[in-house]
Each structure stands twice: as structure tokens, then as C-alpha cells.
């Protein structure tokens, strides 16, 4: 299976970054809208910012504030398949290093288009997080 990994450095403490990963009013600033705050054992649905259309869903499997958040992740193009998104937060001088591991993605030629789209999408979403998380 294919795994996408990303790391970014944010000029904010871990509790602030954690809030941007788990609280619906902050997640929607940089990602899509959730229907609930993310917490261990909680199911969630993802909706488009403008369309309000349901894009996907999952379940939070681990939530260890302010260190680790992991959840199942399925969106329409995955045709019912489920992947795993794992965030880890590390203290660094002046802020936080945020690590993303999106695993369980297809590793065949047919699934490569989705991997490319998700890889690009995560880059765009993480770039949108930088400014508001530091405010």
C-alpha cells in the first residue's frame, strides 16, 4: 500500500495546532468542514466548504492531546475503501513540527491518480493552515 508523508513547521504551540486539527470551527479554515469535533471513538463526516456536499467520513481511532491524532478516512473517489490519516505533533524551538502520514492507499497504476490528487491536496491544505495557526 502507498503512504503519503508530509511535515511542516508551524509558529504555534502544540495545543494551538491540536485545536486546528480537531475543532470544527478551526478545521474548516484550512481543510473541509466536519460535522463534529474530532475525539477518540467519534465518527465524523466531511463536507465541501461551498457545496455542503458530503465528501467522506471516518472514525477517530486514537486521540492523544496534543501529541497524536489518528482516524480512518474514506472519500468518494476511494469507492468505499478506507485509509488511515495519522498526525503527530512535536515541540520544536519556536513552535511545532506537524507530521502527516496518510496510509493504506492503493499501490497499483489505477490508484495512482488518487494518490497524486491526495498528495497535491494535502500540500494545499497544509499551506492554508500556516497563517491562521500562527495568528
**Distance between alpha carbon 82 and the CA centroid of its chain, in Å?**
14
Cell of residue 61, nine digits = 481511532
* Spatial distance between the Cα atoms of 9 and 11, rounded to a whole number of angstroms: 7
Buried b (16+ CB within 10 A) or exposed e, 81-92: eebbbbbebeee
Q: pLDDT-based confidence at 24, cuts 50/70/90?
A: very high
Q: pLDDT-based confidence at 57, cuts 50/70/90?
A: very high
3-state secondary structure of 123: helix
Q: Where in the chain are the domains?
A: 2-134
Q: Tell me the mean pLDDT in the region 45-50.
A: 89
What is the pTM for the complete model shown?
0.93
CATH entry, 2-134, from 1.10.468.10, 3.40.50.300, 3.30.530.20, 3.40.50.10490:
3.30.530.20
3-state secondary structure of 27: helix
Q: What is the pLDDT at residue 88?
A: 98
Give yes or no for residue 34 having a pLDDT over 90: yes
50, burial (CB in 10 Å: exposed 0-12, middle 13-18, buried 19+): exposed
Residue 66 CB partners (closer than 8 Å, separation 6+)? 14, 15, 17, 18, 89
Amino acid at each position: 500500500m502507498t503512504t503519503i508523508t508530509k511535515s511542516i513547521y508551524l509558529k504555534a504551540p502544540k495545543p494551538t495546532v491540536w485545536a486546528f486539527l480537531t475543532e470544527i470551527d478551526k478545521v474548516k479554515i484550512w481543510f473541509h468542514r466536519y460535522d463534529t469535533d474530532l475525539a477518540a471513538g467519534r465518527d465524523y463526516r466531511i463536507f465541501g466548504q461551498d457545496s455542503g456536499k458530503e465528501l467522506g467520513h471516518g472514525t477517530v481511532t486514537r486521540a492523544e492531546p496534543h501529541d497524536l491524532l489518528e482516524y480512518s478516512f474514506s472519500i468518494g473517489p476511494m469507492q468505499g475503501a478506507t485509509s488511515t490519516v495519522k498526525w503527530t505533533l512535536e515541540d520544536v524551538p519556536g513552535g511545532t513540527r506537524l507530521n502527516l502520514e496518510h496510509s493504506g492507499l492503493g499501490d497499483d497504476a489505477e490508484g495512482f491518480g488518487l494518490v497524486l490528487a491526495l498528495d497535491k491536496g494535502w500540500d494545499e491544505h497544509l499551506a492554508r493552515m500556516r497563517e491562521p495557526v500562527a495568528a
